[in-house]
Structure 1
Amino acid sequence: MARMLTLQADPQKAAEAVGQVIRRGGVVAIPTESFYAVGASPFDEAAVRRVGRMKGRAQGKPLLVLIAEPAQLEGIVAEVTEGAAVLMQRFWPGPLTIVFPAASDLPEVLTLGTGTVGVRQPAYPALVELLRRTGPLTGTSANRSGEPPAQTAEEVQAALGSEVDVILDGGPTAGGLPSTIVQTVGSIRLLREGPIARERIAAALAEAGLVLAS
């Protein structure tokens, strides 16, 4: 069973404990705006491999990364494309994952050889504060591939408690749709429509003279 920490009881102490686990190469489960996520340092190849194994993740599905603020893109992305900059300005923080060119030294196990990496800046204040302390973390949902995502710490414990080191209990999450995903490498394409509709993405890009591919 994973160690359970309560976020509301002492947020600072909980964040410090999670940070220590991450720095030791550990894997944690953390609450987001929608579901619980499995977090590990995206720069730690062994930790990212652990996340992939516990998810039972199929090849061809890279892991996304959560950041506290755009400054944390350093070391993760090779460049911020014009389209990405427009979408960051309009929709971050929020439920939009932007696919960037990946930094050359980012572990291939994270990108699965695609040369790209998906990144999101969440709008959940407690998670943002945690990410400021830990640095960027992977943000894949805390469930095995093909199973429903967890909305409570208890559901994470039941599904992955033997495989994560710590579960940060932030209470029930809101659920809803997974984030919208937009590819900004080459042509700008909508990979998955979520809380932010295609029309809003297209309109934001059009204002900057850019086009969302059909």
Structure 2
Amino acid sequence: MSRRYDCSEPMERTRGIADAVSAVRRGELIVLPTDTVYGVGADAFIPPAVSALLDAKGRGRDVPPPVLVGSVRAATALVEDLGTYGQDLIDEFWPGALTLVCRANQNLMWDLGDTKGTVALRMPMHEMAVEVLKETGPLAVSSANLSGRPAARTAADAEEMLGDSIAVYLDGGRSGNGDPSTIIDLTGAVPRLLRAGAVPEDKIRAIVGVLLTDDADEEPAEKLSLTKGEEAAGKPSLVKEETAPEPSLAKDDPKTD
């Protein structure tokens, strides 16, 4: 049977976080608030737990969940590299509502689904979520809703949809503004916008200069971009777009955190 904790009460919050951490370590699912929407989380390194998360939402392996981390250091350990602009984007927008799709560290023993060798990472700007993440380590986290239904803004909304498939509900009140995170794919030569969200596109462009979108899909393979040094000098260069693995998030899914 599920356990729900009112985290507005300090003692209840402490008990709830401890119970949630223990549940994660046992391979069970938890629901926790984030700065965007409520999320359902599982230990990213326990494959049956990740499968249970997908089952609870009514999803298949073709829509693998993103991974939330409690620190930048934890994120960098999960990827092969951050690409040319990854660190700049992290410095500007983390913690916050920006998800970065990178090539996953090939030495990790995990199974998030059909990721094509990539992982989508985010560090939320939410005190309780980060506190939980620092205790559990990286969590596979997707929005706390059944697939096709609106993302939960409250613990009660999540419980109504997910019920006893969740071991622990951490009730932190109403979640942030409800906008999903912005998703940027960094696996190619030029960053690509996979989903518009809480971080505006113009703020991303201010960091990366050139940002591919759906509108650019029909452009030639050679795309105009700026290297960091040339950007400072205002000199453009042609960079041939690389063929990269398909990112681990479906760009047409508006409800994934």
Structure-1-length-normalised TM-score: 0.91
Hey, what does 2:196 align to over in structure 1?
Answer: 193
- How many angstroms does 1:34 deviate by? 2.4
CA deviation after TM superposition for structure 1 residue 171, in Å: 1.4
Instruction: Indicate the residue corresponding to 2:90 in structure 1.
Output: 88
User: What do the CA deviations read for 1:137-192 (whole angstroms, capped 9, x no partner)?
Assistant: 12200111100111111112211112111111111223421000000011310000
**Distance in 2 separating the partners of 1:135 and 1:27:** 14
Asked if the contact 1:2/1:162 (under 8 Å) is kept, the reply is yes
SS at match of 1:29: strand
Which moved further from structure 2: 158-167 or 78-87? 78-87
Report the Cα distance in structure 2 between the residues aligned to 1:151 and 1:199, rounded to whole angstroms.
26
Structure 2 partner of 1:138? 140
Aligned counterparts of 1:35 and 1:116: Cα–Cα separation in 2: 23
* Contact 2:76 2:82 (C-alpha < 8 Å) held by counterparts: no
Gaps of 5+ in 1: none
Higher RCO by CA contacts (8 Å cutoff, separation 6 or greater)? 1
Please point out which of 78, 81, 89 is paired with 2:80: 78
Which SS does the other structure have where 2:164 is aligned?
coil
Are 1:40 and 2:42 counterparts?
yes
SS of equivalent residue, structure 1 residue 162: helix
Change (3 A) 1:103 1:120: same
Higher Rg of the two aligned structures: 2
Q: Equivalent residue for 1:202?
A: 205
Structure 2 contact 102–119 (Cα < 8 Å) conserved: yes
Q: Is the 8 A contact 2:37 2:179 kept in 1?
A: no
Tell me the secondary structure at the aligned position of residue 39 of structure 2: strand
Normalised to the residue count of structure 2, the TM-score between the two structures is: 0.76
| Candidates 169, 173, 194, aligned match of 2:175 | 173
- Identical-residue share of aligned pairs (%): 35
Q: Please, which of 63, 78, 86 is the counterpart of residue 65 of structure 2? A: 63
- 1:183 corresponds to: 185
**Kept in 2: contact 1:25–1:44 (CA 8 A):** yes
1:2 maps to 2
Equivalent-residue separation in structure 2 for 1:73 and 1:198 (angstroms): 23
Task: Say if 2:119 is the partner of 1:117.
Answer: yes
Whether the 8 Å contact between 2:153 and 2:178 is mirrored in structure 1 is no
- Residue 33 of structure 1 and its aligned partner are, at CA, apart by 1.5
| Deviation sequence 1:104-146 (CA, Å, 0-9, x none) | 23433x1414111111111111211121112111220011110
DSSP-derived class of the 1:132 partner: helix
- What displacement does 1:16 show? 1.6
**RMSD (CA atoms):** 1.6
Runs of 4+ in structure 1 deviating by more than 4 angstroms, as ranges, are none
Contact kept, 8 Å, 1:75 with 1:106, in 2: the verdict is: no
Kindly indicate whether the alpha-carbon contact (under 8 Å) linking 1:67 and 1:131 is maintained by their aligned counterparts in 2. Answer: yes
| Equivalenced residues, count | 209
